[in-house]
């Protein structure tokens, strides 16, 4: 198949050459073209700059109409797109509490991650979200795009870099807004879950005036507001194992805060504060002292955790009442559109919009369930920001402790403080993304040419706010003189001024802008047997700026947190051409050729070709072949990175072999914690892709249409994080230190110590995905009973091969990941099911429409042989559940601090949990039109309240074992929504 497809560019080159030769003699064709246009309605198709009569092109395109959006039962664009069957591993959900790009939702066509899917509005680019996925993968946040102003969504399931340039390797999602509107339409609806939480209100109004054909203009304004309440973890407590933090019933750990388990024999947090005597070592009754008052406000923990015995018996367990399954979100969208008829049939379209999307991220992953603790230990903090080399702030941070004589400290020396800090603000991180967009399109004819020009400016300003914990300030306050205004009380009740110092507000404003200008022209070159030979040529200019930095206190290394930063700019200048050749009435060819020049990476040529053969009207064969690319973005090639600490090691130069007794060994460098930095690489190449499709179009009887397509996408030189190499560490100027003299003593010496070890991005691996797509639709006419329309979309992944060195053996290895939990190393820990199906039955009878939709996600196992997020391959069930954290290998009869844990050895979970089971939710929508003005609707999503399957290898659900990227509808549960619409 691959060989046959690759001959297409040769045939198309001849067609293009022939078309160019006839350019000078094409004037007589204009009369034929006018006659043709008078009888044939031509439409714009995503993936082409040439309008055509047949919507079924050589490339597979899925269309979601405004009616489909209403029948979906959802109220956001993100919810609809998350359920398309082509969306796969690497997709981002707002329910993912640990995402780098908090508050946003991203689409990953073919499971090739968000950076390989291009999202457009009206065929134009949008500024990417300022926070990239894992601080690398740029994407457009579909959660911010309005819902009611959408005319339709077109999903091009084919590589489209030859048409749109960078990022379109896996496909394109083109969201088309209403071009015009006349009259007024008001919609209001409200809903809630039957299990508690998630109340949602949604309203919109659109008003348009001016009949374009009669008045020469049209204008409309659309206003939309939406608010969604959070769903708390405690509102799903008891709903099943997926909502539990206790996996002991299947051989795992009880990770409920306040419970001792073999993983946490010395618990760092539970529902009180206690002290231990550092001089006595292990955790036991003899060296611990408990404060007796319950201190977790508004918690379901209600009692005094007053002794070690009570702790060991599980009497100190609690659940954070604010930890979330679904965050609170809020949207405010306003769009203004103006269309004006100009002389000589030219047209001006201007759209201005403001989208404000607010969201939260409340992580429940820690043992404190999202609340601040008195931690068990501290690592040195790292300072890093743009233009500043990563470096440690100090060398150690002392353990949090109170001095001798502190109220409640019974020890003869300092007491180490453990437990939850009662005055810590129990609040989520907040994200407020303001999206500004202004686009103008000018179209018309000049001679035989149809001209389209556009300019646009898009900008996202993201304000993020969170609360940090200043450990040095806390420690100083704990050790302030007794009774002083600056002394911190471990049992709470501290003055707000002191709380604000210990828990400072962290804020940052990140911006992402994109400007574009585009001009293209198309015309008919000549008349072929099957119709007009269409030709298009054009060019574009795209400039992008990114400024995303960490809050100052984090960047300075004073407060721990996400210190990722990204700054940079990128300019793309392109030229492109397209030909559409209906060679015969039964055969059409099309071809594209595009040239892009990026100022940060150089040039790319991307061709593509397509063929469609229709021997009879009931049957057609189609195929495409194309090249694609993704240029390194500012996160990867600009000034970007994030610093972190991971384990201890020795400096091979300053302490060879880690032997601190060897003469000349710098003792401090024989066992130290180095700083690593994921860093950008200006020498990166573009990722390159090859995509192929081959399919059939079937229309055997009137009213029944189907398409079946095979696809293959291969990406080479994929950009990924490199391997840390301490020998390439960055060293600072010589400083005075202490060295071994080799005879058991020390001497003063001078050494250039490591500042940090870069882990730069590299073009390191390749990935190839193959699969099948089936779309079928049939409309049954039922006479007096109305009509029944059946739609089915099925995506099946045949193979997902990732090639790279992810186990550190120095040799690339190919891993088969279809149906597994991987690849976590390039797309997040989201799961990679082989099958997704969406089936809809819609019954229409007069004013009544009833639609039922079934969303099916196939099973996948817990393995990921390409490696977990820590780089360790996951080859079996045991490794998979251990990666999720709910299971861990321990020695039998483990003993710690005098406490024995019998049978603490590793136990496999029950076999049914070695796979993440398939999931199906059923959605029901009922619409009734009372008259030409009034209509009402009822939507029920997850009608049968299907719970999400247990996923023991995910981290996306915080501390709950379910997968929000795939099964969030199950965690939300049954959602009932009712609304009305008035049109006048």
SS (H, E, C) 705-731: EEEEEEEEEEEEEEEEECCCCHHHCEE
The predicted structure's pLDDT at residue 868: 64
Report the pLDDT value the prediction gives residue 98, as an integer from 0 to 100.
65
pLDDT above 90: residue 273: no
Contact 584, 590 (CB under 8 A): no
Give the DSSP H or E segment for 353.
Answer: strand 346-361
pLDDT at 910: 67
Let me know: does 276 contact 288? Beta carbons within 8 Å: yes
Q: Is the pLDDT of residue 201 over 80?
A: yes
Instruction: Assign 163 to helix, strand or coil.
Output: helix
Pairing of strands 217-228, 587-598: unpaired
CB crowding 49-64: b at 16 or more within 10 Å, else e: bbbbebebbbbbbbeb
pLDDT in tens, 825-884: 787 778 999 999 999 999 999 999 999 999 999 999 999 988 765 567 888 887 888 777
As given in the structure block, the two tokens for residue 884 are 């999720």
Q: Which letter does DSSP use for residue 666 in this model? A: B
* Residue 242, pLDDT above cutoff 80: yes
pLDDT in tens, 769-804: 999 999 999 999 999 999 999 999 999 999 999 998
**Per-chain mean pLDDT for the chain:** 85
Please write the tens of the pLDDT for every residue from 888-899: 543 333 333 344
Mean pLDDT along residues 260-274:
58
Tell me the CA distances in angstroms from 410 to 123, 277, 290, 743, one per residue in order. 70, 9, 10, 44
Q: Tokens for 22?
A: 């006839």
Instruction: Report the C-alpha gap between 31 and 131 in whole angstroms.
Output: 53
Q: Is the pLDDT of residue 376 over 80?
A: no
What is the SS3 assignment for 634?
helix
In the 8-state DSSP scheme, what is residue 617? T
CA distances from residue 837 to 215, 604, 772, 797, 864 in whole angstroms, order as listed: 46, 36, 12, 12, 24
* 359-373, 481-495, 924-938, range with greatest mean pLDDT: 924-938
Residue labelled with tokens 């946490």: 264
Q: How far apart are CA 34 and CA 526, in angstroms?
A: 12
Asked if pLDDT for residue 55 goes beyond 60, the answer is: yes
Contact 383, 457 (CB under 8 A): no
Write out the E strands in 158-258. Answer: 171-177, 183-193, 200-209, 217-228, 231-232
The winner for highest mean pLDDT among 23-32, 186-195, 823-832 is 186-195
For the chain, give the number of residues: 984
Q: What is the pLDDT of residue 906?
A: 46
Q: Tokens 């969208």 label which residue?
A: 333
Q: Three-state SS string across 516-577, please? A: EEEEEEEEEEEEECCEEEEEEEEEEEEEEEEEECCCHHHHCCCCCCCCCEEEEEEEEEEEEE
Distance of CA 440 to the CA centre of its chain: 30
Q: Which helix (H) or strand (E) holds 836?
A: strand 835-845
Cβ atoms 795, 856 nearer than 8 A: no
Distances (CA, A) of 867 to 136, 820, 891: 19, 12, 25
More reliable by pLDDT, 960 or 276? 960
Q: How confident is the model at residue 432 (pLDDT cuts 50, 70, 90)?
A: very high
Token pair for residue 364?
Answer: 């429940």
Q: What angle do CA 227, 231, 234 make, to 5 degrees?
A: 155
CA distance 38 to 45: 19
339's tokens: 């269309």
Q: How far apart are CA 139 and CA 742, in angstroms?
A: 56
Q: Angle 715-720-721 (CA atoms, 0-180°, nearest 5)?
A: 165
Chain position carrying tokens 């690339």: 812
12-21, 81-90, 364-373: least confident range = 12-21
pLDDT tens digits along 711-753: 999 999 999 888 888 888 888 888 899 999 999 999 999 999 8
- DSSP for residue 803: E
Determine the Cα–Cα distance for residues 130 and 460; give it in Å rounded to an integer.
7
Q: Which of 152, 50, 121 is nearest to 610 (CA)?
A: 50
% of the chain surpassing 90 pLDDT? 58
Q: Specify the pLDDT at position 608.
A: 97
pLDDT band at 272 (very low <50, low <70, confident <90, very high): low
What pLDDT sits at residue 303? 47
Q: Which of 346-350, 549-553, 911-915 has the highest mean pLDDT?
A: 346-350
Its pTM surpasses 0.95: no
- Contact between 500 and 506 under an 8 Å Cβ cutoff? The reply is no
Q: 818, 799 in Cβ contact below 8 A?
A: yes
Q: Does position 471 have pLDDT exceeding 50, yes or no?
A: yes
User: β-strand 381-385 against 531-548: which pairing, if any?
Assistant: unpaired
Confidence of residue 363 (pLDDT cuts 50, 70, 90): low
Q: Which residues pair with 546 in a beta bridge?
A: 512, 568
Separation CA 692–CA 694 (nearest Å): 7
Closest CA relative to residue 796, chosen from 826, 762, 819, 812: 819
DSSP string, 379-418: --EEEEETTEEEEEESS--PPPEE-TT-TT--SSS-EEEE
What HEC string does 20-70 produce? HHHHHHCCCHHHHHHHHHHHCCCECCCCCCCCECCCCCCCCEEEEEHHHHH
pLDDT at site 635: 92
| Whole-angstrom Cα Rg for the chain | 31
Could you tell me how far CA 658 lies from the centroid of its own chain? 41
Q: What is the pLDDT of residues 635-663, one digit of tens each?
A: 999 989 888 877 789 999 999 999 999 99
Q: Which pairing describes strands 746-751 and 639-645: parallel, antiparallel, or unpaired? A: unpaired
Q: Do 776 and 705 form a contact (C-beta atoms < 8 A)?
A: yes
């Amino acid at each position: 198949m691959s060989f046959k497809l690759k001959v297409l560019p040769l045939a198309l080159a001849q067609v293009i050459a022939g078309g160019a030769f006839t350019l000078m003699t094409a004037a007589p064709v204009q009369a034929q073209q006018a006659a043709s246009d008078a009888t044939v309605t031509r439409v714009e198709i995503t993936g082409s700059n040439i309008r055509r009569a047949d919507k079924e092109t050589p490339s597979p395109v899925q269309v979601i109409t405004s009616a489909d959006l209403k029948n979906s039962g959802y109220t956001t664009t993100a919810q609809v797109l998350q359920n398309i069957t082509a969306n796969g591993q690497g997709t981002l959900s707002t329910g993912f509490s640990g995402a780098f790009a908090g508050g946003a939702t991203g689409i990953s066509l073919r499971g090739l991650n968000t950076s390989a899917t291009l999202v457009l509005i009206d065929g134009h680019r949008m500024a990417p979200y300022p926070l990239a996925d894992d601080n690398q993968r740029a994407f457009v946040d579909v959660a911010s795009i309005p819902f009611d102003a959408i005319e339709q969504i077109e999903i091009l399931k084919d590589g489209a870099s030859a048409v749109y340039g960078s990022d379109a390797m896996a496909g394109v999602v083109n969201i088309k807004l209403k071009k015009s509107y006349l009259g007024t339409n008001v919609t209001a609806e409200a809903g809630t879950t039957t299990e508690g939480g998630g109340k949602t209100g949604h309203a919109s109004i659109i008003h348009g005036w001016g009949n374009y054909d009669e008045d020469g203009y049209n204008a409309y304004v659309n206003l939309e507001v939406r608010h969604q309440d959070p769903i708390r973890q405690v509102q799903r407590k008891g709903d099943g194992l997926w909502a539990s933090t206790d996996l002991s019933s299947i051989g795992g750990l009880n990770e409920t805060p306040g419970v001792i388990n073999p993983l946490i024999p010395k618990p760092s947090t539970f529902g009180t504060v206690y002290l231990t005597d550092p001089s006595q070592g292990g955790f036991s009754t003899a060296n611990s002292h408990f404060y007796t008052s319950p201190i977790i406000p508004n918690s379901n923990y209600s009692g005094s955790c007053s002794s070690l015995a009570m702790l060991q018996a599980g009497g100190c367990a609690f659940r954070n009442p604010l930890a979330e399954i679904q965050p609170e979100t809020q949207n405010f969208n306003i769009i203004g559109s103006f269309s004006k008829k100009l002389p000589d049939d030219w047209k001006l379209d201007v759209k201005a919009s403001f989208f404000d999307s607010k969201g939260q991220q409340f992580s429940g992953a820690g043992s404190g369930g999202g609340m601040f603790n008195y931690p068990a230990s501290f690592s040195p903090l790292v300072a890093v920001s743009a233009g500043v080399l990563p470096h440690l702030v100090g060398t150690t941070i002392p353990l949090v402790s109170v001095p001798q004589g502190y109220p409640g400290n019974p020890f003869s020396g300092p007491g180490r403080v453990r437990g939850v800090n009662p005055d810590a603000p129990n609040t989520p991180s907040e994200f407020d993304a303001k999206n500004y967009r202004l686009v103008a399109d000018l179209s018309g004819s000049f001679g035989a040419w149809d001209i389209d020009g556009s300019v646009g400016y898009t900008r996202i300003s993201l304000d993020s706010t969170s609360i940090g914990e200043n450990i040095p300030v806390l420690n100083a306050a704990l050790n302030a003189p007794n009774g002083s205004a600056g002394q911190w009380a471990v049992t709470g009740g501290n003055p707000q001024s002191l709380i604000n110092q210990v828990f400072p507000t962290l804020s940052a404003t990140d911006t992402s802008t994109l400007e574009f200008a585009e001009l293209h022209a198309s015309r008919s070159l000549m008349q072929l047997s099957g119709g007009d030979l269409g030709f298009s040529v054009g060019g574009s200019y795209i400039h992008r700026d990114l400024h995303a930095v960490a809050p100052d206190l984090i960047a300075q290394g004073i407060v721990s947190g996400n210190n990722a930063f990204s700054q940079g700019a990128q300019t793309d200048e392109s030229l492109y051409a397209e030909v559409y050749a209906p060679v015969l009435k039964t055969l059409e060819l099309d071809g594209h050729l595009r040239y892009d020049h990026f100022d940060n990476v150089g040039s790319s040529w991307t061709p593509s070709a397509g063929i469609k053969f229709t021997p009879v009207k009931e049957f057609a064969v189609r195929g495409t072949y194309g090249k694609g690319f993704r240029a390194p973005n500012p996160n990867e090639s600009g000034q970007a990175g994030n610093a972190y600490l991971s384990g201890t090691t020795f400096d091979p130069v300053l302490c060879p072999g880690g032997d601190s007794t060897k003469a000349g060994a710098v003792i401090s460098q024989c066992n130290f914690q180095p700083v690593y930095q994921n860093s950008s690489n200006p020498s990166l190449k573009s990722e390159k892709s090859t995509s192929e499709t081959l399919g059939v179009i079937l229309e055997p009887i009137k009213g029944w249409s189907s398409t079946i397509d095979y696809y293959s996408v291969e990406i080479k030189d994929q950009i990924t994080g490199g391997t840390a190499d301490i020998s390439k560490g960055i060293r600072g100027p010589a400083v005075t230190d202490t060295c071994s003299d080799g005879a058991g003593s020390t001497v003063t010496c001078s050494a250039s110590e490591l500042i940090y070890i870069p882990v730069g991005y590299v073009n390191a691996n390749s990935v190839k995905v193959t699969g099948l797509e089936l779309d079928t639709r049939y409309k049954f006419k039922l006479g007096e009973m109305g009509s029944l329309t059946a739609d089915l979309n099925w995506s099946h992944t045949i193979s997902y091969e990732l090639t790279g060195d992810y186990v550190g053996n120095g040799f690339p290895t190919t891993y088969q990941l279809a149906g597994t939990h991987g690849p976590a190393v390039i797309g997040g820990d989201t799961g990679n099911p082989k099958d997704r199906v969406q089936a809809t039955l819609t019954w229409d009878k007069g004013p009544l429409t009833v639609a039922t939709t079934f969303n099916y996600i196939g099973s996948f196992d817990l393995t990921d042989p390409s490696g977990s997020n820590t780089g360790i391959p996951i080859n079996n069930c045991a490794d998979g559940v251990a990666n999720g954290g709910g299971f861990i290998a321990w020695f039998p009869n483990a003993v710690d601090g005098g406490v024995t844990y019998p049978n603490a050895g590793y136990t496999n979970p029950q076999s049914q949990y070695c796979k993440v089971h398939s999931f199906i939710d059923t959605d029901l929508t009922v619409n009734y039109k009372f008259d030409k003005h009034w209509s009402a609707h009822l939507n029920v999503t997850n009608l049968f309240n299907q719970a999400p399957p247990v996923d023991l290898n995910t981290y996306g659900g915080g501390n709950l074992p379910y997968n929000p990227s795939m099964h969030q509808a199950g965690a939300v549960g049954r959602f009932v929504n009712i609304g009305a619409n008035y049109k006048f």
